[in-house]
Structure 1
């Protein structure tokens, strides 16, 4: 599949052709990356137009991108207790499944296993193929309209449903089902109730509230004709650098287990009660397994936990969710000890379907099957054989995947019995959900009842969740609660910003590009403060920069600040220092405290962060997490009523330990099953479970005064970061490009109109690459990631980009060594004068040479590329970010 993005770069008017598979993990990268460094279109934010649906065989990861630990894992199935099935086997139902299965052709069966995305199929495709399900990704809407109405959603659901039961072309009348990411409410729909993200709900530690939230979400989803939600996320986060930390309820598997049970019951109903009635939707427990425990918190990375910890820590959400009768489980992008979960038969089949007695279906994540070793987005028998039942296959890759899977069954690469098992599971869930008996989406009981979208009673529950999720970390001299009769200055760029307080997965995938007007019925934190104060006769003034009339000095300042929205790997960082290198919010706090104004800090974030300096400049400090659409819940707790009585006390307690240093990224409360000194050393700044209330006595306070503001960057031990050493290192993949197209590598030889590249042996097998540039136009070879990566630790030190290179002939044009970041930045350095023909040599260039005004080392999408318009043959190997420069390192002013 090829996608074309038309854009302009320095007046070139290039068409940047991106032929890497589009994944949910593919973030839009500016066309300024030129030479093929444009990224995959994703999730409706800047959707590329499909111009040519030719079948491609390249994998989503290029040459050996997931090379990880090679040690063989010794598995012990007895670690996994045998679970009892949540739903007893129903012989009558099993007979119905078998009878229907017996009538189906192979083509019809495989179609049930294909889940395309609404931007990549038409109603006629549904009529022709009869897909078992389909989805909308985050930031995807009917008619590609962000402001699509509930009626638009229903119309699309109805048209796809009617096409699916039309047997005129495919001979099948099995109803399809629509899945959506409703992860903190029906978050793709304008006007929906948005609850706090999971990290805030974890601080509330209230399973009954979680069940209410899930039930409300189900209702609002059903208003739009949708059957199925991809929730809950039950990751147990172990490294807070992970960009999905806020999708985790806690570092404690106990909370995750209890919440998983509660949210599944809220979404689906109780197995012994109102299970999957017309008030409920199908749920998905995700992502199986270990996504919260990857090394260094890298999204889609490698989890090296022992099998015991995999069960005791990372699997507890499945113990809870499957006990409540969850009908689907989503496979995870990550690997476990080097093996991608989408292709892991032991975990998907032996553990999940065997020991956990799961009889629903396993759905993949966004082209996750394409990351399995030996697979592509268009072909992956390994995933089916491992136990994947439904391919989530957005983009035009669905068509070749459908055809290839059919051929693989005919060839015997996939046993027909495995296909029958997958389809039986899909049918079982559809029968249990009543899809064969329910009216069509437009005629279901809740469909079209738009008064349920953002209904006031729903918002009241969300407001309660905001109140209970707030954690009071500091309250010097009992500054809080505040009288609403005061003259209050409200400052900070998050104070009146509903999009920022709601975070990622909010209308758009990343939660960006939203205005307050996109949230009808919602309230910002300032609007809640303003209403509370004005009603009591006080004054609330909003000034983002903290300015005020000196003749009207405020009694107190509430400063609302925090992280910008992000989702998935876009939020990965390399340490936990807040606003590292750009302390705007700290400057605002200092400005106010220097004028003698008491300061209440309200911190918006998707994870605990190192904010020692901000603590020092705050008289009170509240962790508000990502509260969602009901920002007025913050004022409920900060202020008394007009009579001076507490309205609502703080209930929230830290469900994540708070770091003492920026480098303390894996501080987690020791668990009962852990033993040994190494696992029990626990020295956070604020421990798990910490949180003050208005009833707290002084002995309960941890003094957050005079904290060290040394970020320990000079003491931080950096290690060399191998990018290409014998093989491409995860999470990078190799690409080649011209000024108009870029493609990922899928084999040992590849070419385009500017160059040919092949593997070669330098010291060991295939440890280098040989590139022949033909001189016809600018050609590029380099490394790229699905998500931007944080390189600030290296840019802040004396680091260098190093490679071994051999050039076979004299250069007649520059040979550019470059890096690229998200946005308008592509710094490069000409190394033509440094290389000597016909000999291997090491070239090392200080990262300072790439530190131009537009360079953002926190968002590196390509840490290395070579580009030239010369006719030259060259070889390279051992591409490394050196933590400490060598004597031969090239320096720049």
Structure 2
């Protein structure tokens, strides 16, 4: 074993000066760098693709001339566009992309993120995020594709294809990295990196499928999860990272740890007595290929010592080095290690921005609409109130510009020229500057006398209130309760009670925050999720009826904190009474469902059943309709059946007056489940088929499931 090989296992922080980079290259012949060279504490230091590319090229030159003569691979959290590259088109967060129920947008976001990331000289994207958002308190809820295994699988596979495409030939693509394997999305108390307690058969049933879909799509790399699942640390687990990932799921790509996770075994989780034992366990028990050690030398030093003592074999390292070198070869780094400067010309193109705005148009979810509150008319006198209506920063959220989003010093100014607020969108739609009074800031601090706001509201025809969250990422976003600041909620109560005018609430949030009495007080509610900096215009178009909303909830929206971990796939005997159900969403048109037909009333392995349903759009708007097929097994001997499981979905476009038949396929194999002995089986019984059971559709049929 040589130091070159150990160096190929080190991933060090790209936020280093040239002298530090030279140190790492010279001493350790480092094989990978990650993240942005920008200093997070500065102001307006977002790197353009040319500036970023010049930095990565300089590092590459050092590696090729002074180090191992092997090109480095650069990794970046380009999770929703090239969010660390100035001018890169920022897409809606993963949770919003899932709300489109249209995998095209997961593909487009990945494709454009890859192009803009590669323009900066970065070859490897730490995406997609395939954790299930089970506990909605979790600060990373917005990064993934929701709570449902099937929706996450479809979106995840499309995302992998978007990032990678034909990445072994196409140098505008990057290597994708599915993360975080496995079980990360169900921290027991909702705090980031808390222990997860997930039954082994449930882990296979619900949490594994999105990763399997990504592997089937050819994902090039994977990142293991932070923390501990069922008492076992993932980073040093032979079961999770050898038996399950490599053998059962047949993953052949490169595997990287998350940030400092080998060291954390000794310093945070206490699953190893010291760093030496932590490193030995990671090397002996698992198939980890690269340690994301940031700026710490311990992994390299300890690994060299373990190999010299014969504790870790050179053959173990050879396997990892081979996978890393193969990835570099697949990305063309040996032939073309430097940045293609022509790609920078395409970053932030009008076509890319249009694609991001289209994703917002199909993600925004209308949760309530009564008393003719929406759509607004251009002739309406509308008062706009609240902290999120005049901010691109809050629409972007975390993992934008910097890890925690723009700094307080940067604020919204950093997005000037790279986005539009909701108020700016309203002005573009109406041609008139909107009447805006902030009311309170994002933390609930009063910015203007509430009596002045009430007085203005009394002279308005309608009131739009923007509520939401500050920017955050990972443990910085930990909360004890889903409730929004009461001062934000009080804006709605005060204006509704005093002004007696229709109140529309726009939610800009990364997770479903608690709304207390707002759902009963407000006349209309829109969930905009985290639409990204280009979300202002599409949201304004939806408010004014230029676009008909078609988003559907990719998670169960809790009524209270006690429902934070309630899911659509929970056991059927458990009460399901959330604020809004998974898959719920309204539009401005009346779409009816009828004439459900099945190609067979018997469902058996190898003989799929096609389910057809007729949709009619009675107007008055064109409508994009997410058609979802759920199953509910009436009984399952010995094992409680799921309440509902999403099995298939399609997004249909209907003109006013149009009738369209939508077909969806159901396989008996989809009904197989993992039992407590970790065996997959089909339990015969009648199965109720439900199409959009929690919307106005609410249409059912029945098939007989057979195992033979």
Q: Same fold (TM over 0.5)?
A: yes
In structure 2, relative to structure 1, the CA distance for the partners of 1:213 and 1:382 (3 Å cut) is same
In structure 2, relative to structure 1, the CA distance for the partners of 1:436 and 1:578 (3 Å cut) is same
1:164 matches 2:60: no
Equivalence for 2:127: 231
1:604 matches 2:504: no
Query: Could you tell me how far 1:124 is from its partner in structure 2?
Result: 4.4
Equivalence for 1:812: none
Secondary structure at 1:294 match in 2: coil
Q: How does 1:674-689 map to 2 (within 5 A)?
A: 677=573, 680-689=574-583
Secondary structure at 2:367 match in 1: strand
8 Å Cα contact 2:47-2:84 kept in structure 1: no
Q: How does 1:477-556 map to 2 (within 5 A)?
A: 477-511=371-405, 512-513=407-408, 514-519=410-415, 520-534=417-431, 540-545=434-439, 547=452, 553-556=459-462
1:309 matches 2:215: no
Equivalence for 1:134: 33
In structure 2, relative to structure 1, the CA distance for the partners of 1:278 and 1:570 (3 Å cut) is same
In structure 2, relative to structure 1, the CA distance for the partners of 1:377 and 1:299 (3 Å cut) is farther
Equivalence for 2:108: 212
Query: Could you tell me how far 1:591 is from its partner in structure 2?
Result: 2.7
Q: Aligned partners of 1:624 and 1:138: how far apart in 2?
A: 31
Deviations 1:512-539 (A, max 9, x none): 42422201231111100121111xxx56
1:300 matches 2:193: yes
1:255 matches 2:148: no
Q: Aligned partners of 1:651 and 1:635: how far apart in 2?
A: 15
Deviations 1:234-265 (A, max 9, x none): 01121111111111211101111111110110
Unaligned runs of 5+ in 1: 1-104, 641-646, 700-893
1:371 matches 2:264: yes
Correspondent of 1:189 among 69, 75, 85: 85
Mean CA deviation greater in 228-237 or 473-482: 473-482
Secondary structure at 2:368 match in 1: strand
In structure 2, relative to structure 1, the CA distance for the partners of 1:122 and 1:284 (3 Å cut) is same
Query: Could you tell me how far 1:507 is from its partner in structure 2?
Result: 1.1
Deviations 1:852-883 (A, max 9, x none): xxxxxxxxxxxxxxxxxxxxxxxxxxxxxxxx
8 Å Cα contact 2:282-2:288 kept in structure 1: yes
Equivalence for 1:624: 528
1:420 matches 2:318: yes
Equivalence for 2:282: 383
Larger radius of gyration, structure 1 or 2? 1
Q: Aligned partners of 2:275 and 2:155: how far apart in 1?
A: 33
Equivalence for 2:682: none
Q: Aligned partners of 2:179 and 2:225: how far apart in 1?
A: 7
1:650 matches 2:549: yes
1:613 matches 2:517: yes
1:429 matches 2:429: no
Correspondent of 1:463 among 345, 357, 378: 357
Q: Aligned partners of 2:44 and 2:411: how far apart in 1?
A: 15
In structure 2, relative to structure 1, the CA distance for the partners of 1:415 and 1:335 (3 Å cut) is same
Q: Aligned partners of 1:388 and 1:236: how far apart in 2?
A: 23
Deviations 1:774-816 (A, max 9, x none): xxxxxxxxxxxxxxxxxxxxxxxxxxxxxxxxxxxxxxxxxxx
Secondary structure at 2:329 match in 1: helix
In structure 2, relative to structure 1, the CA distance for the partners of 1:637 and 1:139 (3 Å cut) is farther
Query: Could you tell me how far 1:593 is from its partner in structure 2?
Result: 4.4
Structure ranking higher in helix proportion: 2
TM-score, with normalisation over the residues of structure 1? 0.61
8 Å Cα contact 1:670-1:682 kept in structure 2: no
Q: Aligned partners of 2:342 and 2:260: how far apart in 1?
A: 32
Q: Aligned partners of 1:638 and 1:550: how far apart in 2?
A: 20
Equivalence for 1:595: 499
Equivalence for 1:560: 466
Query: Could you tell me how far 1:696 is from its partner in structure 2?
Result: 4.1
Secondary structure at 1:542 match in 2: strand
Q: Aligned partners of 1:275 and 1:127: how far apart in 2?
A: 29
Aligned residues: 567
Equivalence for 1:400: 298
Equivalence for 1:670: 569
Deviations 1:691-736 (A, max 9, x none): 111124899xxxxxxxxxxxxxxxxxxxxxxxxxxxxxxxxxxxxx
Query: Could you tell me how far 1:592 is from its partner in structure 2?
Result: 5.0
Query: Could you tell me how far 1:160 is from its partner in structure 2?
Result: 1.2
Q: Aligned partners of 2:530 and 2:475: how far apart in 1?
A: 18
Correspondent of 2:45 among 141, 146, 152: 146
8 Å Cα contact 1:322-1:358 kept in structure 2: yes
Query: Could you tell me how far 1:461 is from its partner in structure 2?
Result: 0.9
Query: Could you tell me how far 1:498 is from its partner in structure 2?
Result: 0.6
Deviations 1:650-676 (A, max 9, x none): 1111111111223221110026xxx56
In structure 2, relative to structure 1, the CA distance for the partners of 1:478 and 1:139 (3 Å cut) is farther
Q: Aligned partners of 1:392 and 1:116: how far apart in 2?
A: 7
8 Å Cα contact 1:139-1:509 kept in structure 2: no
Equivalence for 1:637: 542
In structure 2, relative to structure 1, the CA distance for the partners of 1:665 and 1:137 (3 Å cut) is farther
Compute the RMSD of aligned alpha carbons: 2.4
In structure 2, relative to structure 1, the CA distance for the partners of 1:659 and 1:552 (3 Å cut) is closer
Secondary structure at 1:286 match in 2: strand
Q: Aligned partners of 1:432 and 1:321: how far apart in 2?
A: 18
Correspondent of 2:254 among 338, 361, 365: 361
Equivalence for 1:107: 3
